[in-house]
Each structure stands twice: as structure tokens, then as C-alpha cells.
Chain A
């Protein structure tokens, strides 16, 4: 190569060939492209949402302005996601513990694979299942709950006769985020230093005490980070909620079992978008922007928490 022979005699420099330069440029470029795309998501959403932000309140669907349109949706999104997490996180930790510490070694791998498969099931199938199988099943327990547990605001009733309630949406969401949380937590448990576990067992700890002393402290930040990831998923889940929930706009209520439910942002977009026109489209995109901002914040916190654990790995 001519370039190598003419290069000044600096021994420590590796010669830069044109092929190298092109390849490095292309791969750096695609990395930058991803950053640009993410910024583009924000920019395009803002430009398409702008007409709704500046439109007079009467033009927004509902006729009371953007804030009053989005607030019930936001409320529905938050309450469904948070309660789904309340169900899913303890179960996910239990499943991760079961697969890592309780299941026989020979089937533990297969069990992990089954949980991964659950993560791969498309959300539309959970929607169909929630509507057809889960919703009818909850009708009787819901009426029982409203009769005997009606003093809890969640079960105030009157119970829905179709079962397509917030409660079912929450359960479906919990089932859907379960595998994601389980996968991250299981990863952390598998990385628990074996010396810690053996040391705990050697001083006579029972299996549960070993888990409490060695595994749980080690996995704590992973559990928090995984929960945040699951929260991000549950906030953005669209089709399952859109199909399961028979939503009525404007109902801000903690009542989980009545037929009067606040919809979620994502489900509302999916339901309204195909028929929306004009300012309606811009309003929906504005609500999407709110959802984007919230999930972005949640995911950034989640990643920061998970990454922080990586930094402290050496100390263990």
C-alpha cells in the first residue's frame, strides 16, 4: 500500500487505510442515526401535536380543552399500570426465586424458557383472551366483592355485568409484564456470588434465610429496576387494554369493578385514531407525546438504577 510506505516513521501509529475510515464512519454514522431517530420521535410528535396545543378549547374533543381531555386518560394509565405492578412484582420475584433456587436443576432451564415464551405472546392474543376468558370469570367474584368488600373504594361497585372492567385490564397487564420483570430479576439472582450462598448455608441458615441474606440484598436494585421496566411496559401497553376495557371517557374513579372506567392513553389512541380527523388527530398525538415523556422518564430511571448495580459489582 502506498499510504503505508509514505507514512512518517512514527512507530506507534497504526496506518489508517481508506477501508478502515469508511467502515468506522459508517458504523459511527448508524450509531448517531439512532440518536437522531430518537430525537426525531420527539420532534415529529411535537410538530404534529402543536396544532392541538394551540387550538381553542372548544375544538378539542370533549370541548373543555386539552388538559381536561388528557387528564382522565393519564389517570387511567397510571392507576392501571401501578396496580398491575403491585400484582406482578411479588409474583415475578417468587417465580425468579422458584426457578433459581427451588426448582430441580434439570427442569429449571426449561421453566425459564417457558417464561420467555410468555413474553413473546403478542398483545392482541392477551386482548382476545382477556375479553373472552378472563372477563366472564371475574363477574361472580366482582359482585361478591362489591357486596362484602364494598367499603374498599376499589370494590365500590355496582359490578359490571360484562366483566370488561379495570380489574381485568390490570390482571392482563400484570400477566404481560410478569415475564419481563422475571427475566431481569432471575438474571440478578443467577449472578449472586455462590460464596455468599454457601457461606450462609454453612452457618446453618435455612434456604429462605440464605435467600434473605445473600440473594435479596444482592438483587434489590435489580428488582427495583425491573419493576420500573415493567412499569414502562404497562404504561405503554395498547391493544390488550383497548380490547379488554369498555371505557367511558371522563370517569376518574378508583372503582375497579364497575362498567364506568377511565381509558388509558395508549388504548384511547388505538380506539380513536382510525376514525379521527383534523384537530382530533393532533389531540391524540399530543396525548401520545405525554405518554412518550412519561415512559421515557420511567425507563431512564430504570436503566440508571440497573446500571448503578453494575458499577458496584466489584465490591461484592
Chain B
């Protein structure tokens, strides 16, 4: 019988301290941090309600109180290393919350001030003959669509072909140079892109030129590097086995790229292009110097000034005229339309990459 060899079963006694030291000694009690946080928050609220302080100093004071209390408490009980850890945790979380503040504030302001002018007139009228209230952004919306559309037509072929060159053909110095300068190009200030397009069109059409096409060229300068980057990333993700299988069937390289590589990466490329459009559709500065501003409808990108949403919003705010409130309302309305377009484009991009992602197996 082997059972007799084993010592009698005994449950280990977890409650009695081993050698007089509890397992949880040298630690703050469970829930110490949240409790302190809530206490500090309540104290801050009390100051806000009873002492009638501003909310900002109250919040700062509560946060500082939490940090000081948790640090000293932890230092006394747990030692300096854990105390530093708790301090950094509080600081990092605080920094994150601090950074969320402007985002919340921006969205709240734009929505609350922008919805004032969300009526049918705003979306169907232009600004011809409008001097006081009323008027709309139809011409600006069309201008934005035309200029951004043209910029997309220019940038997507160039950007995609460059990415194909870099991934499928590019070797040696030329490829390295292109990669490097595409990276550098992402950092070109938008106003410089605008000046470039202006200078280019001055050479073709004479000084003082303003036209939608120049705006499209300026936006392309900003858009091409983004398209190249995202397309390149996506093409690199296409498994080499697919290319080799295609070559093994004696398919020429260009047909392999067109029929095998590109369809596999298409969802990712579409996502990248959508994000690139979202990035340039809100640009103001390059359009200010190239496309200018006009009150009426102008749907011909080669003929004269063309209004876009961002430039419209800027001018309505910068030079409001006699009926300032009406102008400001239009400016905020246009800003809200712009931010909605950008958010929708971002969501569309996510949806494309989710829905149309290639099945890897």
C-alpha cells in the first residue's frame, strides 16, 4: 500500500503570517488607488460647488492631491521604487486625459456652433448677392469636390505606379533616392505646395492667375507621397508565393502585377487613397493662394477662381462684413460640413479595409 507513505493531507494555512510577515505586507491595500482617486475627485467637486472656484483649478488641484497622497502613502508602505511607478502611472494617465480635452472641446464647439445653419438653403444656395443673412455653401461644396477629385485623378496613378516601381522593379540608387524623397515630400508645408503650383501656373498663364486646376496640382503635391507610402506598404504585404506561382505559369511580369498583385492589395490601397483624400480635402492654405474665392458657382477648373469649403470658412470668419453673426454662422457651418466629410472618409477607409480584405487562406 503506497498511501501510507504519504504524509497526511493538510491544507496550507494562508492566513497565518509566515514567520510573522503577512504575504501582503509592504503593499497598499487592494483598491487604495481608486479610493484615493475618488476621494480627491470628491474634494475637488466640493471646492467647485461650495467654495465656488473655477472648474479648471479644482480639477488640477484634485489631480495634484491624488498624486501627492498616493506617492507619499506608497513610499511609506511600499518603498521608493513602487512609489515612482505609481507616480508615473498617474502622470501618464493624466497626460492622456489632458490630450483628450482639446479633441472633445474642438468637436463640441464645431458641432454646437455649426448646426445653427444646417438648413436646406445652406446646402442649395451659393453666395451670389448675399450681403446679410442666408446664403449657402453649394458653390464651395462643388468646388471642394471638383478640386479634390482632380487632385485624386492626378495623384492616384502617379502614386500607385511609383509604389509598383519601388516594390516590383526598384533596385539600386534610383529606388533609394525615390523612397527617401517621397518621405521628405510628406513634410512639405502645404503653403509651399500652394506657392509651387502658383509659380508653375504663372509661367503658363501669366501673373495673378487663379484657377481650380492650380489648386488640384497643389493638393497633388501633398497627396502623392501619402498614396505612394500606403500603396507600397500594401504591395509589400502580398505574399511572394503568389507572384512565383504566376511566374511559374509563364505569366509575364506586368500581367502578374495587374492581375495578381494589385487585386490582392486592392482593399488596402483603397483604404490608403481614402485616407489621403481625407488629408487633403480640408487643406486651406494652398487653395487660398491658387484657387482663391468667388461668390458664385464655377464648375470649370480651368476658368478663374473657385471656392472651396475651407477657404470659404476662412474668409467668412476673417472678413465678416456688416452682418458679422451671419458670417460667423456660415463659417462654423462650413467647418462642420468639412469635419463631417473628413470623419466619414475615415470611417469609409476603415470599412473598406475591414470588408474587402483579401482572404489569406
Report A's interface with B, CB cutoff 8 A.
14, 17, 19-20, 22-24, 26-35, 37-38, 40-41, 44-45, 47-48, 90-91, 94-95, 97-99, 102-103, 111, 113-118, 120-129, 131-133, 175, 178, 206-209, 211, 229, 232-233, 235-239, 242-243, 266, 269-270, 273-274, 277, 281, 284-285, 288, 291-292, 295-296, 298-300, 302-303
Known: A30-B158, A125-B282, A128-B332. 13 other contacts (CB 8 A): A14-B253, A19-B254, A24-B253, A91-B98, A94-B95, A121-B339, A122-B335, A124-B282, A128-B313, A133-B109, A266-B191, A270-B285, A296-B184
- Indicate if the CB atoms of B195 and A288 lie closer than 8 Å: yes
Residue total for B at the interface (Cβ-Cβ under 8 A): 94
Assembly CA distance A170 to B288 (angstroms): 23
A-B contact pairs, 20 of them (CB 8 A): A17-B252, A24-B165, A27-B169, A28-B174, A30-B162, A30-B165, A33-B158, A34-B182, A34-B228, A98-B96, A115-B99, A121-B342, A239-B314, A266-B189, A266-B191, A270-B288, A274-B292, A281-B207, A285-B199, A295-B187
Assembly CA distance A35 to B174 (angstroms): 10
- Indicate if the CB atoms of A95 and B95 lie closer than 8 Å: yes
Nearest 9 pairs of A and B residues by beta carbon: A236-B189, A122-B282, A94-B95, A299-B187, A23-B254, A238-B285, A206-B85, A44-B199, A27-B165
Tell me, yes or no, whether B224 is within 8 Å of chain A by CB. yes
Among B174, B200, B258, B314, the residue within 8 A (CB) of A44 is: B200
By DSSP majority rule, is chain A's interface helix, strand, loop, or mixed? helix
Assembly CA distance A103 to B288 (angstroms): 41
Tell me, yes or no, whether B260 is within 8 Å of chain A by CB. no
Tell me, yes or no, whether B354 is within 8 Å of chain A by CB. no
Among B102, B283, B288, the residue within 8 A (CB) of A175 is: B102
Return A296 CB to nearest CB of chain B, in Å: 6
- Indicate if the CB atoms of A34 and B168 lie closer than 8 Å: no
- Indicate if the CB atoms of B81 and A206 lie closer than 8 Å: yes
Assembly CA distance A128 to B292 (angstroms): 19
Return A190 CB to nearest CB of chain B, in Å: 15
Among A20, A127, A229, A285, the residue within 8 A (CB) of B195 is: A285
Report B's interface with A, CB cutoff 8 A.
81-82, 84-85, 88-89, 91-93, 95-96, 98-100, 102-103, 105-106, 109-110, 113, 157-158, 161-162, 164-166, 168-170, 174-175, 177-178, 180-193, 195-196, 198-200, 202-203, 207-208, 221, 224-225, 228, 252-255, 257-258, 275, 278-279, 281-285, 288-289, 292-293, 310, 313-314, 317-318, 331-332, 335, 338-339, 342-343, 346, 350
Which residues on the B side are within 8 Å of A237 (C-beta)?
189
By DSSP majority rule, is chain B's interface helix, strand, loop, or mixed? helix
Assembly CA distance A14 to B188 (angstroms): 41
Return A136 CB to nearest CB of chain B, in Å: 12
